[in-house]
Every structure is written in C-alpha cells, then in structure tokens.
Amino acid sequence: MKRTGRCPKCGSTDLLAVEPGLYNSFPTGLFSNARIQRYVCRSCGYTEEWIAEDSMEKLRHSWDAPPEK
C-alpha cells in the first residue's frame, strides 16, 4: 500500500496514511522508540505498518542486530 497506493486485499485506492503519534512506536532500546507509519484501506479495513523513514537508523542499531549484507 505504501509503495503501490493500492490495497493488496481488495485493490482499492481509497487509503488513509495514519501519521506516527504517541502510541505508534516500536521499542528499539530501553528509552528509545522507532516511529510506526500505518496505512489503512477505507474499503475493506486492511492495514499495513512500516517503520517511519526517520526511525530506520534507530532500528538498524537496535537489539544488537547484525549488520546488513
């Protein structure tokens, strides 16, 4: 949905992008969070979650993750 602008379940283009807010986050450490961007299809209710671009670096360095190949 984020990349195609179309719902993968029903094919609708009537989508809502829910901006990251207070409770839209993923823990990346004891006192830090990565923000989550949500996409909702207004036709069938299907949802997708993506880590917000500005939080990707936090996520890459969290949880002692191995480096990308």
Report the pLDDT value the prediction gives residue 56, as an integer from 0 to 100: 79
Report the pLDDT value the prediction gives residue 63, as an integer from 0 to 100: 60
What pTM does this model have?
0.68
Average pLDDT (5-28) is 86
For 27-49, the pLDDT digits (tens) are 777 777 888 889 999 999 999 99
Residue located via tokens 């002692």: 64
Long-range contacts formed by 24-31: CB under 8 A, 24+ apart: 26/51, 26/55, 26/59, 27/62, 28/55, 28/58, 28/59, 28/61, 28/62, 28/63, 29/58, 29/62
Long-range contacts formed by 48-54: CB under 8 A, 24+ apart: 48/1, 48/2, 50/2, 51/26, 52/20
